[in-house]
């Protein structure tokens, strides 16, 4: 089955109770049983069933199965937000004294989270680019996770997943990828060697900007060394699924960042059109990037532009599609603001992956709490505007940006 068909007809899509074509929304906290014995069995995992929505819920379960199947993983765990997914996944195996190696050009919230983790003795070594040579320098016996975004938001660096995963595995370290901006449509990163795949499903998976959520998919491929990851030792019997076994039975359920059934349902609605939306978004983004490149007064960054250093990797990994984010530099903060304020359609909002085109000035918003160095590493300058391209008619988006740029710089 091809991917677009899979979005509608794979095992986890389709028929639910009474032949319903979408899962019922089980908007409840708890599930009752006829006898105390039955509930005991459900709690002990000896009978199938649901007990309490923080631990599992049928609608959330349906969403987890969808993503797991689309990503080609073995198990998925849905969370209340992308950040809940990233923090639950990391805290599931890390403790005081452990180190993470991460790409510096990460989403601002993740950079902030790494600072929080430092207070618990978990240190992050940042590399400017996620290349083998740079990562190698930082690997020690303390390195427990290599973490990177497949397409950095908003730096737009692209990770060569195959080569990074090979390096990680040679050193018995799992590769965690944040695949939010790449989406499961552009890449199934498990096929390229990623071990744990995380999405902020608030973005392209939901697609309409109506629910905050996140999801962790376990490839089931990583061979955990239980001496190196002692917190997983009690789950040894699950073998390569020990990570998810601990997550579901311990870390994730105790942190409590579960997904609401209503939001799981909205994500399931959204994901059916993932391919259509991302296809259109990538077309629009490339058209916009091409047009902006020819427009005086701004500098554009988009990985699928032929002069971009990541162009060959974009061809190889994503079949030439560069994702939905384009950034531009307007010349100064004042010009960036004037340009944003002159836009007719693009909304000034802190989100990506919506159907509508959105813009933001990252330096004064998402990166407000970051240091100068962190901002520069993430490609965030005082004059940077991040555009999350929507599904409007390309001609209207292009016209909107070019008129705004002309307004700021005067017609040349
Ligand atoms: C938005 C985003 C997150 C955080 O997700 P939330 O759902 O907002 O918590 C993490 N990583 C990337 C790349 C993002 O774009």
Structure tokens at 410: 């005067």
> Nearest C-alpha to atom 6 of ligand 1 is from which residue?
82
Q: How far is the CA of 315 from the centre of ligand 1 (A)?
A: 25
Count CA atoms closer than 13 A to 96's CA, side-chain side. 3
Query: What does the pLDDT read at residue 412?
Result: 53
| Helix or strand run (H / E) with residue 99 | strand 99-103
Confidence (pTM): 0.97
Instruction: State the helix-helix crossing angle for 333-341 and 394-409, rounded to 10 degrees.
Output: 130
End-to-end CA distance of the chain: 52
The size of the chain, in residues, is 412
The domain ranges of the chain are 3-270, 276-408
CATH hierarchy code of domain 3-270? 3.40.640.10
Q: 107: CA distance to ligand 1 center in Å?
A: 7
For ligand 1, pick from 81, 82, 105, 158 the residue to mutate: most ligand atoms within 8 Å of CB.
Answer: 82
Q: Residue 85: helix, strand or coil by DSSP?
A: helix
Q: 174 to each of 32, 33, 148, 190, 228, how far by Cα in Å?
A: 39, 40, 11, 12, 12
DSSP state of 219: -
Q: Which residues of the chain have pLDDT under 70?
A: 411-412
Ligand 1 binding pocket includes 178 (Cβ within 6 Å): yes
Helix (H) or strand (E) holding 116: helix 108-118
Give pLDDT tens digits for 127-184.
999 999 999 999 999 999 999 999 999 999 999 999 999 999 999 999 999 999 999 9
Centre of ligand 1 from the C-alpha of residue 144, in Å: 22
Per CATH, 3-270 and 276-408 having the same topology is answered no
Q: How far is the CA of 365 from the centre of ligand 1 (A)?
A: 14
Distances (CA, A) of 358 to 190, 336, 363, 390: 30, 14, 16, 7
The architecture (CATH level 2) of 276-408 comes to Alpha-Beta Complex (3.90)
As given in the structure block, the two tokens for residue 271 are 């994901």
Q: Does ligand 1 have an atom closer than 6 angstroms to the CB of 180?
A: yes
* Cβ of 89 less than 6 Å from ligand 1: no
Q: Whose CA is nearest to atom 4 of ligand 1?
A: 82
367 CA distance to ligand 1 middle (Å): 13
């Amino acid at each position: 089955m091809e991917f677009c068909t899979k979005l509608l007809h794979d095992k986890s899509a389709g028929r639910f109770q009474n032949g319903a074509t979408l899962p019922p929304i089980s908007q409840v906290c708890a599930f009752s049983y006829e006898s105390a014995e039955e509930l005991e069995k459900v709690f002990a995992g000896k009978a199938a069933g649901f007990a309490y929505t923080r631990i599992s819920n049928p609608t959330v379960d349906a969403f987890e199965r969808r993503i797991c199947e689309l990503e080609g993983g073995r198990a998925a765990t849905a969370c209340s937000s992308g950040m809940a997914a990233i923090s639950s996944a990391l805290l599931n195996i890390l403790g005081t004294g452990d180190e993470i190696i991460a790409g510096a050009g990460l989403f601002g919230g993740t950079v902030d989270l790494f600072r929080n983790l430092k207070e618990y003795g978990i240190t992050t070594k940042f590399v400017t680019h996620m290349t083998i040579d740079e990562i190698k320098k930082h690997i020690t016996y303390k390195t427990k996770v290599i973490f990177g975004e497949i397409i950095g938001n908003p730096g737009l660096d692209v990770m060569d997943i195959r080569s990074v995963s090979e390096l990680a595995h040679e050193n018995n370290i799992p590769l965690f990828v944040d695949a939010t901006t790449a989406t499961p449509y552009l890449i199934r990163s498990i096929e390229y060697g990623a071990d744990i795949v995380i999405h902020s499903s608030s973005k392209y998976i939901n697609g309409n900007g109506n629910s905050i959520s996140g999801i962790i998919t376990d490839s089931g491929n990583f061979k955990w060394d239980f001496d190196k990851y002692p917190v997983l030792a009690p789950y040894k019997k699950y073998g390569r699924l020990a990570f998810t076994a601990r997550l579901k039975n311990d870390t994730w359920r105790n942190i409590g960042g579960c997904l609401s059934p209503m939001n799981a349902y909205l994500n399931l609605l959204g994901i059916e059109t993932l391919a259509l939306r991302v296809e259109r978004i990538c077309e629009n983004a490339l058209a916009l990037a091409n047009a902006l490149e020819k427009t005086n007064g701004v500098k554009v960054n988009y990985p699928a532009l032929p002069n971009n250093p990541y162009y060959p990797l974009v061809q190889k990994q994503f079949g030439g599609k560069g994702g939905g984010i384009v950034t531009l530099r307007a010349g100064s903060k004042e010009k960036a603001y004037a340009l944003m304020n002159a836009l007719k359609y693009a909304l000034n909002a802190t989100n990506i992956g919506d159907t509508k085109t959105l813009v933001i000035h990252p330096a004064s918003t998402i990166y407000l709490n970051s240091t100068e160095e962190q901002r520069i590493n993430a490609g965030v300058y005082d004059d940077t505007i991040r555009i999350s391209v929507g599904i409007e008619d390309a001609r209207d988006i292009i016209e909107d940006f070019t008129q705004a740029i002309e307004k700021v710089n005067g017609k040349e």
